[in-house]
Chain A
Amino acid sequence: MKLETLELTNFRQFKNGKIDFSTDQDRNVTVIHGQNGAGKTTLLNAFTWVLYEEANFDTREDRLVNEGQITKAAPGSTLTVKVQLTFFHENDRYRATRTVDYTKQNNQDLDGEMGNPSFSLEQQSSPGNWDRLSEGQKRVKQILPDRLRSLFFFDGEDIEELAGVDNQEQIQKAIQNIMGLTILERSISHLKQVADEFEAEYREYADDEVEELFRNRDKLEQRIEKKTDQIQTRKDKRDELSDRIEEITTQLENIDESSDLEQALQAAKEERSSVNTELEAVDSTLSSELTKGGTLALALPVIKETSADLEELQENDLLGSEVSADFLDTLLDRGKCVCGRPLEEHSMYYERVEDLKSEVGVSDIGETAVRLIAAAEHADEDYRDLEKTLLESLERRHTLADELAETKQKIADLEQELDNLTLPGDSGTKSPAELKKEREEAEAQRESVSQDIGMLIEQRKGLEDDLDAVSADLENAREEQEQATLAKKRWRAALQTRAEIESSFNKVQNAVRKLADQRVSTMFESIAHKDLSAEITDEFELRIRQRVGDQWTELSKGTGETQIASLAFIGSLVAIARERYEKDTQSSYFTGGIYPIVMDSPFGALDDDHRRQVARLIPDLGSQIIVLVTDAQWGGPVESEMEDISGAMYTLDFDDGTGDGNYPETRIRTEKALKVDY
């Protein structure tokens, strides 16, 4: 799908206007910029309204009609709101049109009464001739499925949520959506329902014992479902608390009195987290080195003594071929070594001589002794290496512990200073100290909720284990009756088919996750700082990590990098869908597609450096990109990066209507249009 033009008539603040999108391969970006309130979000909504009859406005969602036009209209007259979108899809040109009439009831009626919207989709048969399709809405949903809408028409300021906490479901859903596995999804769901029906049939014939097992299983399933609900409720609560904590942090950063302190506090907390991460890594090194070589330290004196004894025996020519296991037996029997050391049964020396006897062949004692002496020398070297590593690690640990103590003190001092800021803000808002206290309470509550979540997950796991046990008992339950057996067989067939489809579904989903992971990682690393990396984990989490020393630590939410990673993720899905489409594979359940991206305010509150990085990334996100951006975001690095790569550019000239008593209106002014002949 490639967008060609968008035309608006009486749609919100647009009395009329038209945009020709760039369809050029090299200059694939169309930029539309304007001041706040000029109508960028209205344009984003125009796309979703014309295609799906969906719009999401902050104010007066029900009023699509132009305010000025309905006010001026004569009572009883009708105004038509119209949005028309032309686009290409698989070598055909389409025209989607949605209209709705507003009738002005009387002079006081400034809203108009809304009629029923109507929709048409036409396909161009020859230049100037359009054929109306009978099931237009259905066709639109086939071309750009409804479920993909949020992936390709989005508010850039919301998109960073993809890289936020607990985002697995969004990522997983996005991956499922891009795969277009409708048939698989539906089959899984429907087979579950049919399996339940066969199960019910089977239960009609089942005996009391089996019935009891079924009852137990049902109860366990209900309890598991309840636990799952409880977990979700707490997760929601945790998210809510996280949002509040973030909100307070932003507030504290924006209050003049606390701004510097709060920023210093956040920096100190990040430093504490980074030092803690490194400290854990050092502890892990210490632990693994001690596990690996710790016994060496204890055994070394014995090894050295044994080595010395063997050398002495060798020098005295007592380890030649004439020395036999019998000789060693004699030593053990008489309880005394040739060196004079007592060989008491079960003592370390007794066992050492015993081991020596069993390890060698009768005639190989001399050779083995040489080998053991060499091994003992090697053990000495290993010990020195171990000692060096341990000393270095301990030294580093000591430094880190000092740093940690220092950072903790710094945090305590800063918190104390914040506690002293007890004066309320200008408009009677909470003081920094009150905000900080509220944040601490929210953090404590979040910690407690997180613990609850952990506990509930454990409890659910226990119930799931019980469920598995009951299921296994059911598996073994025997039924003699023929009908019961047949019903059971059908039940099994439904479940087995469903399990196989589910397995295919998971395989494809995982394959796409891996592809997306590779692309996100490559795209992100090509643009972000070299010590940062992005990945989609096995659990479908989009994570950004930062290298600190030799360790990777997770980057906190709300940075410019999360915006970049989230955009890279969307870009990866677009690329995967396109690749799949162009490969024309045999799979009939994931055919892919070519999709445009329309994004509102992708630069959010980013600093200049990150805006530049995002601007560089945008052309690579898809084959056609439409960027809606505020004038404030457009200037500087964004404009310099995007001016050359954009094929079309528009300004939204907004008149708020306050000056001359008129009504708000936006005109679309063309700054640059790249003419392409079709």
Chain B
Amino acid sequence: MTTSEAGTEVQVDKETIQRVKDRVFDAEEEQRHLDRPHNILPQIRDIIREEVDQ
């Protein structure tokens, strides 16, 4: 799957992507020691919903 699949007519700016990336890393870092991180998928989903809200 590539990024292009999601279309060109909807643009997400670089700053937003950077914020998503930093927040995802932080969320993952908090659970680095766990073999299976808890609830990480809902956390990442919420991060993206918050950062891309319109």
Contacts and interface: CB of A to CB of B under 8 A. Distances in A.
Interface of A: 135, 138, 141-142, 182-183, 186-187, 190-195, 197-199, 217, 221, 471-472, 474-478, 485-486, 488-501, 588
A524 B27 CA distance: 42
Given A183-B32, A493-B20, A194 B7 contact: no
Contact of A493 (B4, B16, B33): B16
Contacts of A476: 7-8
Interface in B7-40: 7-10, 12, 16-17, 20-21, 24-25, 28-29, 32-33, 37, 40
B7 A474 contact: yes
Contacts of B1: 192, 195, 221, 495
A496 B12 contact: yes
A190 B44 contact: yes
Nearest to A141: B33
Contacts of A490: 48-49, 52
A486 B5 contact: no
Give the 10 A-B CB pairs with smallest separation, nearest first: A492-B6, A489-B10, A495-B3, A493-B12, A499-B3, A491-B6, A471-B5, A194-B44, A496-B3, A497-B20
Contact of B41 (A194, A477, A493): A194
Nearest to B12: A493
Interface of B is mostly: helix
Nearest to A474: B5
Given A190-B24, A500-B21, A495 B7 contact: no
A499 B12 contact: no
Secondary structure dominating the interface of A: helix
Contacts, number: 103
The bracket for how many chain B residues form the interface is 20 to 34
B44 A492 contact: no
Contacts of A493: 12, 16-17, 20, 48, 51-52
A221 B24 CA distance: 27
Contact of B28 (A138, A183, A498): A183
A187 B28 contact: yes
A48 to B, nearest CB: 17
Given A495-B2, A496-B6, 6 more contacts: A141-B33, A142-B33, A190-B44, A194-B44, A489-B52, A496-B12
25 contacts: A135-B33, A183-B29, A186-B37, A190-B24, A191-B24, A194-B48, A197-B45, A471-B2, A471-B5, A472-B4, A475-B6, A486-B53, A486-B54, A488-B6, A492-B3, A493-B12, A494-B48, A495-B3, A495-B5, A496-B3, A496-B6, A496-B17, A497-B20, A500-B21, A501-B21
A195 B1 CA distance: 10
A184 B31 CA distance: 13
Which of B3, B20, B32, B44 has the largest count of A CB atoms less than 10 A from its CB? Answer: B3
Residue among B7, B17, B25, B32 with most chain A CB within 10 A: B7
A192 B28 CA distance: 14
A190 B4 contact: no
A122 B13 CA distance: 49
Nearest to B20: A497
For A182, A485, A492, the residue with the greatest tally of chain B CB atoms inside 10 Å of its CB is A492
A187 B41 contact: no
A475 B7 contact: yes
Nearest to A221: B1
Nearest to B25: A183
Nearest to A142: B33
A217 B44 CA distance: 25
A183 B10 CA distance: 28
Given A138-B33, A491-B6, A186 B52 contact: no
A475 B1 CA distance: 12
A352 to B, nearest CB: 55
Contacts of A221: 1
Contact of A190 (B16, B29, B40, B51): B40
Contacts of A491: 6
Contacts of B48: 194, 198, 490, 493-494
